[in-house]
Amino acid sequence: MSTVTRQLKLGAFMRPVSIHTGAWRYPGAWRDANFNFTRLKYLAQRLEQGRFDAFFMADHLAVLNMPMEALRRSHTVTSFEPFTLLSALAQHTTHLGLVATASTTFEEPFHIARRFASLDHLSEGRAGWNIVTTSNPDAARNFGLETHVEHADRYARAREFYDVVTGLWDTWADDAFVRDAASGDYFDPERLHVLGHAGPHFSVRGPLHIARPVQGWPVIVQAGASEAGRQLAAETAEVVFAAHGTLEEGQRFHADVKGRMRSLGRDPDHLKILPGAFVVVADTVDEARAIRARLDALVHYDSAISSLSVALGSDVSHLDPDGPLPDSLPESNASKSGRERVMALARRENLTVRQLAQRLGGYAGLSFVGTPRSIADEMQQWLETDAADGFNVMFPWLPGGLDAFVDKLVPELQARGLLRREYEGTTLRENLGLPRPQNRFFAPRS
Amino acid sequence: MSTVTRQLKLGAFMRPVSIHTGAWRYPGAWRDANFNFTRLKYLAQRLEQGRFDAFFMADHLAVLNMPMEALRRSHTVTSFEPFTLLSALAQHTTHLGLVATASTTFEEPFHIARRFASLDHLSEGRAGWNIVTTSNPDAARNFGLETHVEHADRYARAREFYDVVTGLWDTWADDAFVRDAASGDYFDPERLHVLGHAGPHFSVRGPLHIARPVQGWPVIVQAGASEAGRQLAAETAEVVFAAHGTLEEGQRFHADVKGRMRSLGRDPDHLKILPGAFVVVADTVDEARAIRARLDALVHYDSAISSLSVALGSDVSHLDPDGPLPDSLPESNASKSGRERVMALARRENLTVRQLAQRLGGYAGLSFVGTPRSIADEMQQWLETDAADGFNVMFPWLPGGLDAFVDKLVPELQARGLLRREYEGTTLRENLGLPRPQNRFFAPRS
């Protein structure tokens, strides 16, 4: 196949390192992969060998909301905190982007601006900020709030939060620090801007007491799929982590968000849309499917059947686990499209109730399960039909699922010209092909 | 001299790496020492060679309060953020304690508990928390507050903050994570405690979503010298960073705080009092004094004379810089003892107005300026007369002032048995000789 000029951008999802709830039980898997720094260092270094753009750390401000019978089986309950982990990983890598999730709901913009600037300096320009709003009521209760802020207000707050943070990053001109030992001037006061922000949600004076980040601003990442989320992404995001089940959904989202960017006068190439993808690669399709079936079988049935009942909006725990899902189920107020998608999945793959439940309890989103060639075909199709600019990859388990991706799939993608052989630059922006933002308060000195 | 059993504990103060405002201008000094990770890595690794207990990072939540004419000459205006910096330094050291300052005034206990736990895991048990309250009004304005909380309320809040954070650290029993692949149990629900704190300042449910720190709790550090600060230290601190001008002040403070501990039933050995000390070591006393004079001369006179006017409570900018300070000055509402101390210093060292001003503008607190032998004598006296358990060292400049300490003074201290030759353990607690706190909710399993 001929070399293509457009290439896939690859993120690697973490927290947990495998989204699949059975991953830690897989034979040979590192059971403590989420919480042993040695394992995470291995992960980061392998990602760099595989020429990934970024390590993407999701985050939560509470133990995940689930009943104790499911929670006790979850490998997500202990995890490093993103800023500390990524600063440590920066010391063991040289090109990998380091994206931390930070909530605009329970944080202060001054702290967030400072921490990302510090991470960007410590990593020499590899930081990214995944801006999220937090809707988990258990998180609210960790910060003294009993009820949760409304969706619309969360987004208005998020937008103002972003304005304050980016304004604080621009406190100092890039050339502010003259450090002139002879005169005694450490900086040039003309190259310092005091923000003085006063808005409906935040009042923040500044200045920020850290130099402008290496990248100007760390890369801005978002994941919101709602109307408000898409608009915020079109206005501000440079990477979007999306969740699409099908190519057509990907195409619709891609066209919508990039269209919004054009309306706003933004270059659509300055935003990379990366759907999450669970990737199981093996030498044959049958082997890959067997790995997935084995993984799914490790999802505890109690957790699995309750996931299925939630998805269908109907208690199905009385059904025969080894029989098929009935063609009709009682009406419910569960999302109709979600319910139909689940029922279609059962029919398409001819799954028993148990298998379907374990699929949902493991990972039921976009998956590529096959050989290096079949998966490269699928990824190429997503790229070439404008359904994605790349993927945010989820590995089935560590280290085997990761190793298979890097050792088998990456060479195939590189041979097709779909993935870089060497990094283009040293910063995350350079590798993603994103411009360095101008300082809004200071033009470069002529 | 015979080997003593009690040894000095040594911290190294940072932020800035040299407290002396002229340090960055010293010939051969790294002008960017506060903000170049390569320099800080060198510092941390040298401290470890010198068998220091800990790297202590002060912190501020705003640019330091000073007029622009002084600020423009300050090397403190750009600095890394503590958690990100210390997590990175943890990757380049193996025994050095890593103490971060975190404010109880503008932070949330859930975030702080989580970040210190993460740093403690990433450093394998080397984290310490310097608990401060923040009184800088410029910091308040970075967090939407125009007026500042009262001193007494700041301390009540600090105490409750400490209770919440330590309670969150005890969320999980040390043996909670069973990771039993066969049964599918990742943890034992009986070994999880949900805090459910509801108090006057904070309402925090928990659980914390990170395992109990390696040290049980990171080491608790404090610096408050007020009545409320001493009491909080006696109740909770394991290290106190003190600021004493004289041996007698050190003895009084030591006796007071350790007496309070006895009254509370705490073992006085479980708190180490480390006065800050600015140390200039050279082969002769004259050479050491010349280094200090040269450093002081690099403090800009405009900044220096305004420091002196503040200290004396009287504008002295009209005086002849090269003449002596007059014996009498107009009455003022400056602290009488502070004013007398400054005047006594001028008389004792026969300083001109300029020299006195530059001393205050540089560093006027406790200093040891001399040879390895003379400084070891002084440190030994402080240790043996119960004025200190060690020191929080401030270097005159980097790298030379640091190198002189490690290469000249450390061997002299070791030869006298005043400083370890090898670390006692791998955690900060082990090296400081502090017990690992019991989990308040779980006894060890029998």
- Whether residue A260 contacts residue A375, with contact meaning beta carbons closer than 8 Å, is answered with no
Calculate mean pLDDT across residues B378-400. 98
**A37 neighbourhood in chain B, CB within 8 Å:** 121-122
Nearest CB among B37, B114, B179 relative to A31 is that of B179
For residue B51, pLDDT beyond 90? yes
Residue A442 banded pLDDT, cuts 50, 70, 90: very high
b/e for A96-121, b at 16 or more Cβ within 10 A? bbbbbbbbbbbbbbbbbbbbbbbbbb
DSSP state of A445: P
Calculate mean pLDDT across residues A42-59. 97
**A184 neighbourhood in chain B, CB within 8 Å:** 25, 73, 298, 300
Nearest CB among B68, B110, B138 relative to A142 is that of B110
A272 versus A134: which is more confidently predicted? A272
**Beta-strand (E) ranges in A224-364?**
239-242, 272-281
**A90 neighbourhood in chain B, CB within 8 Å:** 88
On whether B42 is known to bind a ligand per the annotation, the reply is: no
Which of A59, A77, A197 would best serve as a mutation to test chain B binding (most B beta carbons within 10 A)? Answer: A77
- What number of C-beta contacts closer than 8 Å exist between A and B? 173
A445 versus A107: which is more confidently predicted? A107
> Do the Cβ atoms of B187 and A77 come within 8 Å?
yes
The model's pLDDT over B249-302, given as tens digits with 9 standing for 90+, comes to 999 999 999 999 999 999 999 999 999 999 999 999 999 999 999 999 999 998
Nearest CB among A71, A122, A142 relative to B88 is that of A122
Residue B147: predicted pLDDT: 65
A226 versus A85: which is more confidently predicted? A85
For residue A367, pLDDT beyond 80? yes
> Do the Cβ atoms of B32 and A204 come within 8 Å?
no
For residue A181, pLDDT beyond 50? yes
What whole-number percentage of chain A has pLDDT above 70?
A: 97
On whether B151 is known to bind a ligand per the annotation, the reply is: yes
A377-380: long-range pairs with CB below 8 Å, 24+? A379/A8, A379/A413, A379/A418, A380/A4, A380/A416, A380/A418
Specify the pairing of strand A197-198 against strand B203-204: unpaired
DSSP state of B27: T
On whether A407 is known to bind a ligand per the annotation, the reply is: no
For residue A446, pLDDT beyond 80? no
Nearest CB among B60, B76, B118 relative to A84 is that of B118
**A203 neighbourhood in chain B, CB within 8 Å:** 141, 144
> Do the Cβ atoms of A298 and B184 come within 8 Å?
yes
Tokens, residue B427 = 């955690």
Residue B445: predicted pLDDT: 77
For residue B106, pLDDT beyond 50? yes
For residue B446, pLDDT beyond 70? no
Cα-based angle A354, A359, A361 (whole degrees, multiple of 5): 90
Specify the pairing of strand B203-204 against strand B197-198: antiparallel
Average pLDDT across chain B, whole number: 94
CA B133 distance to own-chain centroid: 14
DSSP state of A409: I
A167 versus B15: which is more confidently predicted? A167
Residue B245: predicted pLDDT: 87
For residue B95, pLDDT beyond 90? yes
Among the listed residues B103, B405, B384, the one whose alpha carbon sits nearest the alpha carbon of residue B254: B384
> Do the Cβ atoms of A210 and B62 come within 8 Å?
no
> Do the Cβ atoms of A87 and B88 come within 8 Å?
yes
For residue B439, pLDDT beyond 90? yes
Q: Rounded to a whole number, what is the distance in Å from the CA of A422 to chain B's nearest CA? A: 26
Calculate mean pLDDT across residues B325-340. 81
H or E stretch including B399? none
Quickly count: other Cβ atoms within 10 Å of residue A93's Cβ.
18
- Whether residue A342 contacts residue A308, with contact meaning beta carbons closer than 8 Å, is answered with yes
* CA closest to A137 among chain B residues: B205
Nearest CB among B25, B81, B117 relative to A210 is that of B81
- Whether residue B95 contacts residue B428, with contact meaning beta carbons closer than 8 Å, is answered with no
Listed in sequence order, the residues at least 6 apart from A40 whose beta carbon sits closer than 8 Å to its beta carbon are: A14, A17, A33, A80, A85, A89
**A186 neighbourhood in chain B, CB within 8 Å:** 24, 72-75, 77
Residue B3: predicted pLDDT: 46
> Rounded to an integer, what distance in angstroms lies between the CA atom of residue A20 and that of residue A402?
13
Residue B1: predicted pLDDT: 42
Among the listed residues A131, A177, A426, A211, the one whose alpha carbon sits nearest the alpha carbon of residue B81: A211
Q: How far is CA B182 from CA A73, A299, A314, in A?
A: 11, 12, 30
**B39 neighbourhood in chain A, CB within 8 Å:** none
Residue A201 banded pLDDT, cuts 50, 70, 90: very high
Residue B323: predicted pLDDT: 96
> Do the Cβ atoms of A185 and B73 come within 8 Å?
yes
Give rounded-to-5 percent helix, strand, coil for chain A.
Answer: 40, 15, 45
> Do the Cβ atoms of B78 and A209 come within 8 Å?
yes
On whether A301 is known to bind a ligand per the annotation, the reply is: no
Q: Rounded to a whole number, what is the distance in Å from the CA of B270 to chain A's nearest CA? A: 28
Residue A149: predicted pLDDT: 66
**B298 neighbourhood in chain A, CB within 8 Å:** 184
Entry field: residues in chain A = 446
Q: Rounded to a whole number, what is the distance in Å from the CA of B328 to chain A's nearest CA? A: 32
Coil, helix or strand for B409?
helix
DSSP state of B101: E
> Do the Cβ atoms of B188 and A72 come within 8 Å?
yes
b/e for A341-357, b at 16 or more Cβ within 10 A? ebbebbeeeebbbbbbb
Say what the alpha-carbon torsion angle A256, A261, A262, A263 is, to the nearest 10 degrees: 90
> Rounded to an integer, what distance in angstroms lies between the CA atom of residue B359 and that of residue B307?
10
**B63 neighbourhood in chain A, CB within 8 Å:** 207, 209
**B181 neighbourhood in chain A, CB within 8 Å:** 24-25, 31
Which of A73, A81, A107, A120 would best serve as a mutation to test chain B binding (most B beta carbons within 10 A)? Answer: A81
Residue B149: predicted pLDDT: 67
Write the DSSP string, A43-70: HHHHHHHTT-SEEEE---SSS-S--HHH
Residue A66: predicted pLDDT: 80
- Whether residue A22 contacts residue A399, with contact meaning beta carbons closer than 8 Å, is answered with no
The model's pLDDT over A246-283, given as tens digits with 9 standing for 90+, comes to 999 999 999 999 999 999 999 999 999 999 999 999 99
> Rounded to an integer, what distance in angstroms lies between the CA atom of residue B230 and that of residue B256?
8
Specify the pairing of strand A197-198 against strand A203-204: antiparallel
Nearest CB among A73, A177, A206 relative to B186 is that of A73
**A127 neighbourhood in chain B, CB within 8 Å:** none
Among the listed residues A44, A66, A70, A46, the one whose alpha carbon sits nearest the alpha carbon of residue A55: A44
On whether A314 is known to bind a ligand per the annotation, the reply is: no
Which region among A413-417, B109-113, B149-153, B316-320 has the lowest average model confidence (pLDDT)?
Answer: B149-153
- Whether residue A192 contacts residue A214, with contact meaning beta carbons closer than 8 Å, is answered with no
> Do the Cβ atoms of A84 and B111 come within 8 Å?
no
> Do the Cβ atoms of A184 and B298 come within 8 Å?
yes
For residue B332, pLDDT beyond 80? no
> Rounded to an integer, what distance in angstroms lies between the CA atom of residue A110 and that of residue A28?
44
Which region among A86-90, A160-164, A338-342 has the lowest average model confidence (pLDDT)?
Answer: A338-342
ω into B16 cis (within 30 of 0):
yes
> Do the Cβ atoms of B87 and A83 come within 8 Å?
yes
> Rounded to an integer, what distance in angstroms lies between the CA atom of residue B208 and that of residue B168?
6
A407 versus A307: which is more confidently predicted? A407
> Rounded to an integer, what distance in angstroms lies between the CA atom of residue B240 and that of residue B245?
16
> Rounded to an integer, what distance in angstroms lies between the CA atom of residue B70 and that of residue A193?
17
Q: Rounded to a whole number, what is the distance in Å from the CA of B421 to chain A's nearest CA? A: 28
Calculate mean pLDDT across residues A133-158. 84
List domains and CATH numbers for chain A.
9-283+371-432 (3.20.20.30), 286-365 (no CATH)
> Do the Cβ atoms of A110 and B61 come within 8 Å?
yes
Q: Rounded to a whole number, what is the distance in Å from the CA of B391 to chain A's nearest CA? A: 28
Residue A216: predicted pLDDT: 98
- Whether residue A13 contacts residue A242, with contact meaning beta carbons closer than 8 Å, is answered with no
**A202 neighbourhood in chain B, CB within 8 Å:** 144
